[in-house]
């Protein structure tokens, strides 16, 4: 939406400015997975050929460079939509270098208790995961760990979320927290069985930073560990997820190993210094070779040409409509 509204303005008024789109994640990919999930089936190629995909990929093509947060999404764009690799730059979450002895600063396995989930409840994958935990996973875990509790944290905790709380079952809806790191360090395991979504899920990176192993699904772990072992357990059905959570919760040796794997993932995959330098090198190259770079992206120049004719006037219409509405309010 932002590129559609402002990309043409930059192109028209500052034609030599480098236009970079920070995607965060591919919205059409997340929505396609959601629609497939709601229908109880696997994702099909045709699910990706949506109006959202056309809009989002058009924005990517019109820009000189797009920042893609997940290798899985980079691969999708190149292999399924034939986007030139030169238009994409993989930039994951950026983490400052962690001291080698940082794990020693955190509470130990014995000093931690319980499970946690954290996420913004306006985000559909988070709300679905909490319902899934409540109805499918937590009863199985609680049966084997009767003293354990599951703490649900997150912003926008509406009444429908609060109604899920059951103190007798140890299912506690805590709401928004000011210091998430503190909660991670108090908790033994992040339990987050996400069933759809896209991009990289920040909750798992935050868990690793705070020395907390995670139990999640293949989709939850997507794009994070690469060839490295996961920071805990990955499972995809009710029984296996619950068993993985119980095993990791009870086994100190396995838990400690998982914690170490998290540190390794951060070191090997998310170092800020590495990706910062790569991005600056890319921008420098574009500064020096912008005309050549754009000449290789005919589809992008064609889309920008038509955008100047159509989207420009749509944006101007919206602007005029908003001004008229404000005048009426005055």
pLDDT in tens, 61-113: 999 999 999 999 999 999 999 999 999 999 999 998 877 778 888 999 999 99
Q: List Cα–Cα distances, 260 to 65, 99, 213, 228, in angstroms.
A: 35, 13, 9, 11
Q: What are phi and psi of 252, to 5 degrees?
A: -65, -40
User: How many Å apart are CA 271 and CA 278, to the nearest integer?
Assistant: 11
Comparing 28-37, 226-235, 243-252, the range with the smallest average pLDDT is 28-37
User: How many Å apart are CA 106 and CA 112, to the nearest integer?
Assistant: 10
Per-residue pLDDT reduced to its tens digit, 303-327: 887 766 666 677 777 788 888 888 8
What's the mean per-residue pLDDT of the chain? 92
Q: What are phi and psi of 226, to 5 degrees?
A: 60, -130
What the block records as the tokens of 242 is 């619950």
Burial environment of residue 136 by CB neighbours within 10 A (0 to 12, 13 to 18, 19 or more): middle
User: How many Å apart are CA 181 and CA 207, to the nearest integer?
Assistant: 8
User: How many Å apart are CA 126 and CA 130, to the nearest integer?
Assistant: 6
Tokens 């030169």 locate to: 86
pTM above 0.75, yes or no: yes
Contacts of 85 (CB under 8 A, 6+ apart): 78
Using the predicted structure, report yes or no on whether residue 184 has a pLDDT greater than 80.
yes
Using an 8 Å Cβ cutoff, are 172 and 149 in contact? Answer: yes
């Amino acid at each position: 939406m932002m590129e559609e509204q402002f990309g043409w303005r930059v192109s028209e008024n500052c034609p030599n400015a480098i236009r970079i789109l920070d995607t965060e994640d591919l919205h059409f990919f997340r929505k396609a997975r959601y629609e497939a999930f709601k229908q109880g089936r696997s994702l099909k190629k045709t699910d990706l050929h949506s109006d959202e995909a056309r809009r989002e990929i058009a924005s990517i093509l019109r820009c000189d460079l797009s920042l893609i947060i997940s290798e899985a999404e980079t691969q999708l764009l190149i292999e399924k939509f034939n986007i030139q690799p030169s238009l994409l730059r993989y930039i994951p979450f950026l983490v400052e270098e962690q001291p080698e002895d940082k794990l020693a600063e955190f509470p130990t396995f014995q000093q931690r208790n319980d499970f946690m989930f954290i996420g913004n409840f306006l985000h559909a994958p988070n709300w679905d995961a909490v319902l899934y935990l409540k109805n499918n996973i937590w009863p199985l875990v609680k049966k084997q760990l009767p003293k354990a509790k599951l703490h649900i944290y997150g912003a926008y905790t509406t009444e429908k979320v609060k109604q899920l709380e059951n103190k007798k079952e140890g299912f506690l809806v805590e709401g928004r927290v000011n210091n998430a790191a503190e909660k991670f360090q108090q908790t033994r395991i992040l339990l987050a069985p996400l069933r759809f979504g896209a991009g990289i899920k920040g909750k798992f990176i935050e868990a690793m930073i705070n020395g907390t192993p995670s139990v999640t699904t293949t989709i939850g772990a997507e794009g994070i560990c690469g060839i490295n072992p996961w920071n805990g357990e990955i499972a995809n059905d009710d029984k296996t997820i619950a068993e993985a959570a119980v095993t990791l919760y009870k086994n100190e040796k396995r838990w400690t190993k998982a914690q170490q794997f998290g540190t390794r993932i951060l070191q090997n995959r998310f170092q800020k210094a590495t990706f910062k330098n790569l991005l600056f090198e890319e921008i420098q190259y574009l500064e020096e070779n912008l005309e050549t770079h754009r000449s290789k992206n005919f589809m992008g120049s064609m889309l920008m040409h038509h955008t100047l004719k159509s989207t420009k006037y749509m944006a101007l219409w919206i602007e005029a409509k908003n001004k008229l509405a404000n005048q009426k309010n005055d």
